[in-house]
A and B are shown apart, each in its own frame.
Chain A
């Protein structure tokens, strides 16, 4: 089954404790991206990757890191999480670029205390 998976789905952590949210797709997509969704602000793009070893900032990259060492994986790293990073996070992938149909993961709900 073609899908985008994220882990964990739910996470409660404390300020400053490094964490990684994984994203994996099995469709051989070149493009992958991370978004956060907050009430009243909607979805906002954090980082995206056009292919292996090619990443770029979205609109809200501060406090986040990404890497794309393999085509199927695009982890989101929070090196020192803060409460303002409490949010619902989505990973998505597509053929080529953001031009094409986006396939979304199920979301990760993160709470930083």
Chain B
């Protein structure tokens, strides 16, 4: 079982729909990142979360540390949101080390049709 699991793996939506992508993890973490990979391959950081909720434009990210789960929501989806969305966790090692380690989910391929 992977340490970081995303669901769904593939998601198709119609323009305007509300979208949710989920990320569950099994390790202790100090931070969770949501990334977006464009069809051309470039990767940009969307959010870093250590608790609670963050919002940027039509994107909302939440995290529940106790349940080891995070969600990325896209409101009023648009074809330009079509991309791969990746969550990544910053592990906390057994001794509180590994400050530099990141473990990634498999990614969710989102396609938004006009």
Q: Please indicate the chain A residues that have their CB under 8 angstroms from the CB of B43 in the complex.
A: 90, 92, 104, 107
Flag if B35 contacts A102 (CB, 8 Å).
Answer: yes
Chain B interface main SS type: strand
Interface residues of B (CB under 8 A from A): 30-31, 33, 35, 41-45, 48, 50, 86, 88, 90, 99-107
Complex: how many Å from CA A31 to CA B35? 18
- Take A90-B43, A101-B45 as given contacts and tell me if A33 and B105 are in contact as well, using a CB distance cutoff of 8 Å: no
Determine the interface band of chain A, counting residues with CB < 8 A from chain B: 20 to 34
Flag if A98 contacts B41 (CB, 8 Å).
Answer: no
1/0 per residue, CB under 8 A from B, across A40-63: the answer is 111111001110000010110000
Flag if B45 contacts A48 (CB, 8 Å).
Answer: no
Complex: how many Å from CA A92 to CA B42? 11
Closest 4 CB pairs of A and B: A48-B100, A104-B43, A43-B104, A42-B106
- Take A31-B100, A58-B101, A106-B42 as given contacts and tell me if A101 and B48 are in contact as well, using a CB distance cutoff of 8 Å: yes
Flag if A106 contacts B101 (CB, 8 Å).
Answer: no
- Find the B residue at minimum CB distance from A30: B100
Flag if A43 contacts B86 (CB, 8 Å).
Answer: yes
Flag if A98 contacts B102 (CB, 8 Å).
Answer: yes
Flag if A99 contacts B90 (CB, 8 Å).
Answer: yes
- Find the B residue at minimum CB distance from A49: B100
Q: Please indicate the chain A residues that have their CB under 8 angstroms from the CB of B99 in the complex.
A: 50, 97-99
